[in-house]
Copies of this chain bind each other. A is one copy, B any other.
Amino acid sequence: MLRQVTLEDIRPIGIGAGILGTGGGGNPYLGGLHLASVIRQRGPQPLVDPLDLDDEALVCVAGNIGAPTVSIEKLPEGTEMLRALRLLEAHIGRAFDAIAIAEIGGANSMQPLICGLLAGIPTVDSDSMGRAFPEIQMSSFLFDSAATAAPLAMVDAADNAAVLPVAIHDRWAEKMARNIAVSMGARAGLVGTIMSGAQLKAAGVHYTMSLAHHLGCRVLEAQRQKSDVPQVVADALDGQALFRGKISDVHRRTTAGFARGSVRIDSFVSDDQLTIEFQNELLIARVNGVVAVTTPDLICIVTEEEGEPVTTELLRYGTRVAVIAVPAPPQLKSETALRVVGPGAFGYDVAFHPLPGGVIGWRPKSG
């Protein structure tokens, strides 16, 4: 287990979180630069083992909400996470003890570290997805818990702020927060999903910061050794290298606030074709038209040579890629969870086809 995040950890966490982002979650590079500047000023950020949390501890999640495409062009002011945290603390009249991770996938792996460092409180090594999803209610902290997405607080780079004290359900909190984020220029810092240590212990996908770090280290090591990096990624996540080939077609359109589309990959060695449908994240994979992987199981695209993550907005003709299929953590596969993150939640008329096996990636690791 990782006990703290230092400058040296940022690169492997970025790679690991990029792969776990399943095409979404935003590119961790800029977030990594931001985190590095804060670590240089304040030192490493401590990580808390979720099982060591006091049951009465007050915890919330911190992350960016908005369009990943915008987050590449519109840089943060830098204190968004801290200002949102202070605003939420003022609203509820209590101070938080630790920051949990909303989504380990992509750029939002860095924000809870930045938030904790600026606020002087630790980050919990546990997230609510073990991957990336686009909407607030898609969180294991919320599926079977008394916790709710609201109250939440949002701020932008220019000091606009909003608090949502209550929402009739988490989907409604998502709708309101999404529209506020649009008003804020499609990028805002958000702090919410207030819970106790006990609630986090029961509902979180634990040790995913450690997992991202471990995955990134194995990728970097395999790159140095010129070994088969995609296979190393699959092994590290207890998944399978499902398909290898060249991207031969990409359809992408922006509708209803999502980057929706599909990508086709032609096999290097046969006439087989893999198609993947995506909505920010990669959601349904079909081999020759037959459903092979379905959300919430993870569909990760990495480059064939280097095993580096390829986010949805970077998919383009000709890239040589490998597709890794990884069984989702058990927290995402309950009946309640599947109503929120299964294929039907994204409008696909496809049943969830769980991949066999796969709990290694989501279990505490030694060392």
Residues on A lying within 8 angstroms of B by beta carbon are 87, 91, 158-168, 172, 175-176, 178-180, 182-184
Contact = CB atoms under 8 A, between A and B. Distances in A.
A166 B158 CA distance: 10
28 contacts: A87-B165, A91-B91, A158-B168, A158-B172, A159-B166, A159-B168, A160-B164, A160-B167, A160-B172, A160-B176, A161-B164, A161-B165, A161-B166, A162-B162, A162-B163, A162-B165, A163-B165, A172-B183, A175-B183, A176-B180, A176-B183, A176-B184, A178-B183, A179-B179, A179-B180, A179-B182, A179-B183, A180-B180
A166 to B, nearest CB: 5
Contacts of A175: 183
Contacts of A162: 162-165, 176, 180
Contacts of A87: 165
Q: How many copies altogether?
A: 2
A115 to B, nearest CB: 19
Contacts of A160: 164, 166-168, 172, 176
Contacts of A182: 179
In terms of DSSP, what is the predominant structure of the interface of chain A? mixed
A163 B159 CA distance: 14
A317 to B, nearest CB: 36
Nearest to A168: B158
Nearest 6 interchain pairs by C-beta: A179-B179, A163-B163, A176-B183, A175-B183, A179-B183, A161-B165
A265 B162 CA distance: 45
Nearest to A179: B179
A146 to B, nearest CB: 17
Contacts of A91: 91, 163
A92 to B, nearest CB: 11
A149 to B, nearest CB: 12
